Amino acid sequence: MITKRLGHPHLGLGLGLRTVHFDYILENQPNVDWFEVISENFMDSQGRPRYVLERIAERYPVVMHGVSLSIGSADPLNFEYLDKLKGLARDIKPLWISDHVCWTGVAGRNTHDLLPMPLTELSLKHVVERIRTVQDFLERPLVLENPSTYVGFTGSTLSEWEFIARMAEEVNCGLLLDVNNVYVSSVNHDFDPEEFIRSVPHERVVQFHLAGHTNRQTHLIDTHDNHVIDPVWKLYGLAHRLTGGVSTLLEWDARIPPFPVLHAEVLKAKQHMGEELADTRMAAANGEQATAAMGVSEGDLAVPHPLHHIAAEVL
């Protein structure tokens, strides 16, 4: 018998913490349920990013989300990285630590992309062994996310949902179900996104991700630069019903709108939980107005999962 969500709390509706919103959050203390932070942006910081994170972690529940664990890589695990990850967790006390089912580089290099795993038995065994090592080191279960992918390997013998489900069962880790990634990958790989959502072990889902993407007609790119589209909301509604509801987070990483627009976007999730709350509709409506004012549109630069690089503040 598995404890639902690995025993983690349902944090409500949260947002990815981004540099452009630092001042707004510190000044306004918006009524957001929780924040997710990119671990790598803070683990080495001795300046303002770390200072801001500590202030935010005092006030809000925080979750650490990484992009460089490279759990599927053929390279040795980077224990210097893991040590810093653990140190950051010790300091800011996140509810959980997540990363992606992917590899980011090999032969000592880092592409800073979330690259797809060949979905084979050997590949699964490799990932499982590494997750065990990382979980032992961090002394906590990992929460792992399904990335958006754009290629499949002819040698793959498992579906992505089989791979993830077996992985999670074998290592007793949590899952971060990125509903937008399921949708993006379903278009790119011609599968039924509902089958994916129905097939993952729902009791292991600790968190959902929501985001916008770019439609290139022949494929979708996970750009995190726009509103969540209706088919993704529909999948979210399904995932919500199947899991009974878990912490939900909106990612918006390119052409980032003002904070209230983001907040309004994630609050729309309530409409897909069967709770038609008036205040949600109001917030969503305000968000639409703000979006129209800033002229958010389809992206020219379609870069998958844009990275969150922190620019220096200089006088």
Binding site for other proteins (CB under 8 A): 40, 43-49, 51, 68, 72-74, 76-79, 81, 103, 105-113, 115, 117-118, 120, 122-123, 125-126, 129, 133, 137, 150-156, 188-190, 217-219, 221, 301, 303-304, 306-307, 309-315
Q: State which residue, 80 or 279, has the beta carbon closest to other proteins.
A: 80
Q: State which residue, 11 or 69, has the beta carbon closest to other proteins.
A: 69
Q: How far is CA 217 from CA 115, 210, 275, 298, in A?
A: 22, 21, 33, 12
Instruction: Provide the 3-class DSSP secondary structure of residue 64.
Output: strand
Write down the least CB distance from residue 154 to other proteins, Å.
6
Write down the least CB distance from residue 51 to other proteins, Å.
6
Residue (of 60, 5, 8, 7) closest to 34 by Cα position: 60
Q: State which residue, 83 or 274, has the beta carbon closest to other proteins.
A: 83
Residue (of 11, 34, 1, 5) closest to 244 by Cα position: 5
Q: State which residue, 53 or 246, has the beta carbon closest to other proteins.
A: 53
Write down the least CB distance from residue 55 to other proteins, Å.
11
Q: How many residues does the chain have?
A: 315
Tokens at 200, concatenated = 């993952």
Q: State which residue, 67 or 267, has the beta carbon closest to other proteins.
A: 67
Q: State which residue, 292 or 315, has the beta carbon closest to other proteins.
A: 315
Q: Supply the angle between the helices 259-267 and 278-294 in degrees, to the nearest 10.
A: 140
Instruction: Provide the 3-class DSSP secondary structure of residue 141.
Output: coil
Q: Looking up tokens 């792992």, which residue turns up?
A: 144
Write down the least CB distance from residue 53 to other proteins, Å.
12
Residue (of 181, 172, 166, 189) closest to 120 by Cα position: 166
Instruction: Provide the 3-class DSSP secondary structure of residue 173.
Output: coil
Write down the least CB distance from residue 268 to other proteins, Å.
28
Write down the least CB distance from residue 27 to other proteins, Å.
15
